[in-house]
Amino acid sequence: MKIALCLHGCFNSSTDATSKGEEGFKYIKKHIIDNVWMSPNGLWLRINRSLRAWDVDVYIHSWEPHLNSRLKELYSPVLIKTEPQIDFSPKCKELGVDSLINPPRRPDTVLSHFYSIEESFKLLYSTDNKYDVVIKSRFDLGQINRAGSTTHVGCINFNTENDLTRINMAYWDDHWMIPEGPPDAWFYGDHKTMNPFSSIYQNIIANLSNDTYIEDVSSRLGRDNLTNASVLYKQFFIDYNLWENRLALPCQLN
């Protein structure tokens, strides 16, 4: 079984001072790199990492060129792209979302988030490598809001016995999941299912330019939620016929 891990964004959280990329690496190593399910001879077993160093390939897009060497040291990525942070404020102005009154997150940071995801996935899908599982993750996986959360949606529930033709995601109560969308720390599925992430930024830009999307969100949730990342993720999954068949997995502190 071959696994691809796409990491994106900034190493440390900008909103939670306790959510660090170094701790995220330890978490990722424990729960993904050193802890994947294998199926030799049809039997599901856990195998020591030293016996299968080829199983997990990492692809990285980072906004922090000064961390390039450290990221290579930690993850030995197949491909990595680091670049200075792009200012997405002009794009927000072009889309008319620069004047939202009280958005959940600044619109420019939301565009930065989706752009970085797309770039990490474009690296993966630019190769001829094929994977049984593809994971989208932030660098500080398992860390953000770790102390105060009651849902622990930042902690991954990773099991390759799940149906990988469906988008595997963290479970949120329907009170949040249905009107808005999913938590966004991680998603995974098979190679084909995860392919749309290689154009997720373009999808988000298209929806923010789409009158139907704008009218729907504005009427249901208020205009300030146009750039709500969860809302944009949900529309992205709807657009690729992945939402209704999603696999929402309960999370626990791990």
**Domain parsing of the chain, residue ranges:** 3-249
Q: Is 47 exposed, middle or buried (0-12, 13-18, 19+ CB in 10 A)?
A: middle
Q: How far apart are CA 23 and CA 125, in angstroms?
A: 28
Give me the half-sphere count of Cα atoms (radius 13 Å) on the Cβ side of residue 5. Answer: 24
Structure tokens belonging to residue 36: 């994947």
Share of the chain above pLDDT 90, in %: 85
| pLDDT confidence of residue 192 | 98
Q: Which residues contact 124 (CB under 8 A, 6 or more apart)?
A: 4, 6, 59, 79, 131, 134, 198
Q: Is 46 within 8 Å of 31 (Cβ atoms)?
A: no
Q: How confident is the model over 125-183, as pLDDT tens digits?
A: 999 999 999 999 999 999 988 887 889 999 999 999 999 999 999 999 999 999 999 99
Q: Which residues contact 215 (CB under 8 A, 6 or more apart)?
A: none
Which of the pair, 64 or 41, is modelled with greater confidence? 64
Across the range 64-73, mean pLDDT stands at 98
User: Domain 3-249 - what CATH class?
Assistant: alpha beta
Q: Is the pLDDT of residue 57 over 90?
A: yes
Confidence of residue 35 (pLDDT cuts 50, 70, 90): low
Q: Which residues contact 1 (CB under 8 A, 6 or more apart)?
A: 36, 37, 38, 39, 55, 132, 133, 160
Stated length of the chain:
254
Q: Centre a 10 Å sphere on the Cβ of residue 50 and count the other Cβ atoms it contains.
A: 7
C-alpha distances out from residue 73 to 68, 76, 80, 118, Å: 9, 6, 12, 23
Which residues does residue 200 pair with via DSSP β-bridges, in sequence order? none
C-alpha distances out from residue 252 to 84, 154, 192, Å: 35, 9, 28
| pLDDT confidence of residue 47 | 44
Q: Is the pLDDT of residue 30 over 80?
A: yes
| pLDDT confidence of residue 36 | 56
Across the range 194-210, mean pLDDT stands at 98
Structure tokens belonging to residue 171: 């479970």
Q: How far apart are CA 177 and CA 173, in angstroms?
A: 6
Average pLDDT score over the chain: 92
Across the range 103-131, mean pLDDT stands at 98
Nearest Cα residue to 161 out of 184, 141, 202, 190: 190
